[in-house]
Amino acid sequence: MLTMTNTMVCHFCRISRSHVLTKCQVGAKSRIFSRTNSTFLQTIDQSLQLSTTNPLYQGTASLLDSVHSATGLPWWMSIVATTFCVRSLLHVPLMVVAHRGQAKLVNLKPQLDEEFKELSHKLKQAKWVYKMSDKQFLTAAAASRAKLLRQFYMKHNVHPLKGVVVSLTQLPVWILISLTLREFAGRFTNTPREDFLTEGGLWFTNLTLADPTLVLPVSLGLVTLLNIKMGKAMNPAMTSLAQRDIRMEKKVAVTMYLLSIAMVPLAAIQPSCISLYWLTSAVFSSVQNLGFAVPSVRRFLGIPQHAAEPDIHRLFKARS
């Protein structure tokens, strides 16, 4: 009996030692994971960090400082003012160019349709003359249509991708101002500007910290979603130069909705100065979209009238 008891005690001790060792291993792995995770985040910050000697950083920082000193506004209002100035002077003219190109392209659609009909008639004749197989005919038809489309774009200086390229020019400026504000908040150097600590507004008095109430991030997500909804309500389906891909349109719509949702947690971990900048930029986009949907504004900006142009009245019809 005693021998059996000793055996059981020894077995329990081995199990206990094994469990202790396992816990130590888990603790060690947790510390390693924590250090790795911290190193990973530091690596991301270092890769995003703008050097203070970088001309892009110096120019953006100088712009922000100039608006702040010239207006005498606190930093949170200076960020709002700078956002509206940059978007008004840089992005609005580019969007006017994009809308003019879009209008010209839509107005030329009937002429392009006629050229496609003529090309189709010639292709059918060529198939009969040269006794082409169905595969040869389809290959030749696709190549001929693509060539005609390229020539049409070059002749009239229009291309659907021009509007996309113009819109994408906003992205580098958005990233640059975001990184500069992140530098001001001390997320890269751990030495924030002193006035950023006190010149916040309302509930986010410290611009170097994330919004504790989550009002800015949630507002950003809602405004982004509003912009997507307004775009769908005010803009009818553009008359495409090719057959519309309904599935692709749905995928793009879902992606945009997911993006609006993803902006909330992303903004929640940023300093409130960045969340404020993102929210202000989104609000400006809403105002800009509404402005471009007013026919009198479009005529004032020299945008030709066309059948698929946005109309602000569609927004209120969609809501009613």
Query: What would the pLDDT profile of 241-266 be if each residue is shown by its tens digit?
Result: 444 445 666 777 788 888 888 899 99
Residue 6: the pLDDT is 45
Residue 38: the pLDDT is 44
Residue 243: the pLDDT is 43
Buried residues in 19-49 as b, exposed as e (16+ CB within 10 A): eeeeeeeeeeeeeeeeeeeeeeeeeeeeeeb
Average pLDDT over residues 199-219: 92
Residue 169: the pLDDT is 78
Better-scored residue on pLDDT, 242 or 76: 76
Is the pTM above the cut of 0.85?
A: no
Residue 20: the pLDDT is 38
Residue 36: the pLDDT is 41
Distance from C-alpha of 316 to C-alpha of 118, rounded to nearest angstrom:
42
Query: What would the pLDDT profile of 155-205 be if each residue is shown by its tens digit?
Result: 888 777 776 677 677 888 999 999 999 989 987 777 888 889 998 888 999
Q: Predicted confidence band at 274 (pLDDT cuts at 50, 70, 90)? A: very high
Query: What would the pLDDT profile of 50-59 be if each residue is shown by its tens digit?
Result: 556 678 888 9
Distance from C-alpha of 74 to C-alpha of 67, rounded to nearest angstrom:
10
Distance from C-alpha of 174 to C-alpha of 275, rounded to nearest angstrom:
12
Average pLDDT over residues 71-86: 94
Residue 244: the pLDDT is 47
Residue 211: the pLDDT is 92
Residue 210: the pLDDT is 92
